[in-house]
Structure formats: C-alpha cells, structure tokens
Structure 1
Amino acid sequence: MATYGSNELKNGLKVMVDDAPCTILDCEFVKPGKGQAFTRIKIRNLKTGRVVERTLKSNETISSADVVDMEMQYLYNDGEHWHFMVPDNFEQYALTKEVLADAAQWLKEQDICIVTLWNNEPIQVTPPNFVILEITETDPGLKGDTSGGGGKPATLETGAVVRVPLFVQTGELIKVDTRKGEYVSRAKE
C-alpha cells in the first residue's frame, strides 16, 4: 500500500485514518514563525460520513486507502436494498440505506452513479450531478403571488422536496442539481 508524505497531500485524495477510508476535503500547509511546519487536513470518513480535522507534522506519512470508484447503473429498490449493476460485467451489488444516505432521494432507475468500493464492499454512492425528475405534487402558482420570494416547494417522483419557481406545475419535468438539492431549469424531454 502506498504512503504519502505530508507535503504530497491534496484535496480529493483517498487515505486511511484510524483504519477507515477517508477522503481529504481541505488541505493546508502551515509554517509558523516559530516551531515546526505542519499540514492541517480536513477529512470525511467514507463509512460514517463524519468530518474531522487532523494535524500532521512535516515528517509524518499517511497510507493511501485501497478504494475504487466505479460507474454503476441503478436498477431497482426492493424496499430494503437498492440494487446496482456494473455495466461492463453485469456484476450486481445490493446496497442498504446507510450506504446510500442522501443519494437515495436523487436516484431514478437506469441512472449511472459513482459507487465507491472498499475491500470490494460499497461504502458510498455519488449520484449524477444533474438529474431530470417529474414533479408529483406542488401548489398552483397564482399570478401576483410573489411577495414571499417567488418560490414554492415541490415534491418529486423520488420523494425529494425542492423549491421551484411559481410557473412550474405538477407533471412537469425539471432538472435538479443533486450537489445542492436545487432546481436548475425545466427539462426538455
């Protein structure tokens, strides 16, 4: 397993901390006027989702995490597991709600997602950056009803709730940014 010196760390790198795979969110090299230089990193545990800060001295090393990001197609949900398939070899994985976390609200059947595997076991799912979903329920927008900022909540076909402009109606397809959970535009499908 490869190791990284504190000067080789960068954002997005996958490393092992406390026997758990983590990804580096923020990395800052600090050279105080007095004392030894160090690197301060902010990491997210890929298994639990917790974010912590660590400080590494300039002579410390950290081992790389043996994780693999694979593109997988979301097949279906049987009520307890979400089933994904690797398109190349048709290998299937059944994921639990704990692994999916917030990604479950953006998944539509046949979508391609990034699934992070550690020791050949799924630990994280990243949905596509943008998804096109149908609005199943929203209040009708009335003309002149803009005193509150001009938005209204809408429930999507996956159960997610996003704020949409007043002109968007039930049954329309919209494009949603899954990273922020925000309405982007109407979809043309």
Structure 2
Amino acid sequence: MAKMQANQMRAGMVIEFEGQRYTILKQNIMIPGKGNAIIQVDMRNIKTGAKKDQRWRTADTVERLMTEDKEFTYSYAEGDTLILMDPETYEQTTVSKDILGDRLPFLVENMTVGVRLIEGEPVAMTLPPQVTLEVVEADPVVKGQTAASSYKPAMLSNGVKTMVPPFVTTGEKIVVSTEDASYVERAKG
C-alpha cells in the first residue's frame, strides 16, 4: 500500500477506503467560488460491485493499492476452487469459482486466463472472448421456418444452452462468445 494525495487518483486505480477496496471509475476536480478544490470521485466496491460517490479535499491522502494484471493457465478445479498456474514460474495460484460467476462453464483446461491481482490477491478473472465447444444436442429444423427466425436451441458440451443457425447439427463444433454464450461461427478444421 502507498499513500497518495487525493488529486492523484485516476480511473482504473484501486484504493482502500473505510476498510473496503474500490476501483476508481472517474474523478473530477471541482473548484468552488471560495475555498479549496474538491475532488469528486466515482468508485465501485470490488467485493459488492456497489457504486459510491466520495469527495476529498486536495490535501487529503488515500491508500493506493498495487494492482497487477497477469496471465495464468487454468489447470483444474478442486471443489469450489480453481487451480491456476503461472506459465513463467510454474507456481500455482488458487481462486474461488465465484470469481467467474455465470461464465464458469466456459473455462476449459489449459485455457489462458487474465487475472487482476490487488496486493497479490486475485479479485477478477477474464476469459478469452471466444471458445470452441461441441453441440451435444440440437433441435431439428421446423419446416417452413423463415431464415430470420430460424435460430434453434442447442445444448453445448459444457451444459450451456444457446441458439444456433438451422444448419448446425449435433456433434458439430462451434465457436461461441464467453460473455453471453451466443453463436459466432462454425469451428474451422
């Protein structure tokens, strides 16, 4: 942790305030008619996701936390924990499955993931934007369906349901977005 003046806060920095960790979303310096400038800061609580507006005087100091974005390789899951490996040092890091929320099914072995660390503690994890999965179940096409409305439900090998074009059949591999499980294209090769 390092102390810094309130007017040095910038978007993306992480600070500790009243025992909680916050990501700075934006800051504005307001200069009233008389008196000292005030720093108006919009920030988000890292644990709860709640937004907060806070004001500081320029002379105030805040605790800045050191953040680092690192790439890890996902090894395996153990109970409620994900085991990640640092590709440079081969050291293992563990994170809670909760860190991924509803994107968890898209995590596959040996996938490269991005992890944001605050003071060495993992607080967020990003997946590659797309992943290739197999269609394990696809509804047959209904005759007379128009092309525009022709997306049909399909079940992916990771247990997630998505909508696919009519030509996609069971056993095919498709590329889907890890953000919202939407169909991108047929997998090549």
Q: Same fold (TM over 0.5)?
A: yes
**Corresponding residue for 1:89?**
89
Query: Within 5 A, what are the aligned runs for 1:1-189?
Result: 1-3=2-4, 5-6=6-7, 8-10=9-11, 12-24=12-24, 26-27=25-26, 29=28, 31=30, 38-45=39-46, 48-57=47-56, 59=58, 60-146=60-146, 149-189=149-189
Cα distance in 2 for partners of 1:163, 1:37 equals 50
**Shift in CA distance, 29/169, structure 1 to aligned 2, threshold 3 Å:** farther
Q: TM-score w.r.t. structure 1 length?
A: 0.77
71-80 or 175-184, which deviates more: 175-184
1:41 partner amino acid? D
CA contact (8 A) 1:135 1:154 kept: yes
CA contact (8 A) 1:2 1:63 kept: yes
Larger Rg: 2
Measured after TM superposition, the shift of residue 58 of structure 1 is 5.2
CA contact (8 A) 1:7 1:39 kept: no
* Unmatched tracts of structure 2, length 5 or more: none
Q: Cα deviations across residues 96-133 of structure 1 (Å, max 9, x unaligned)?
A: 32233233121011110012233433332211122222
* Corresponding residue SS for 1:64: strand
Cα distance in 2 for partners of 1:4, 1:105 equals 42
* Unmatched tracts of structure 1, length 5 or more: none
Coordinate RMSD, CA, aligned: 3.0
Identity of aligned residues (%): 29
CA contact (8 A) 2:38 2:55 kept: no
Cα distance in 2 for partners of 1:109, 1:176 equals 17
Q: Cα deviations across residues 45-78 of structure 1 (Å, max 9, x unaligned)?
A: 1xx3423122324525543222322211111224
**Shift in CA distance, 29/188, structure 1 to aligned 2, threshold 3 Å:** same
CA contact (8 A) 1:22 1:65 kept: no
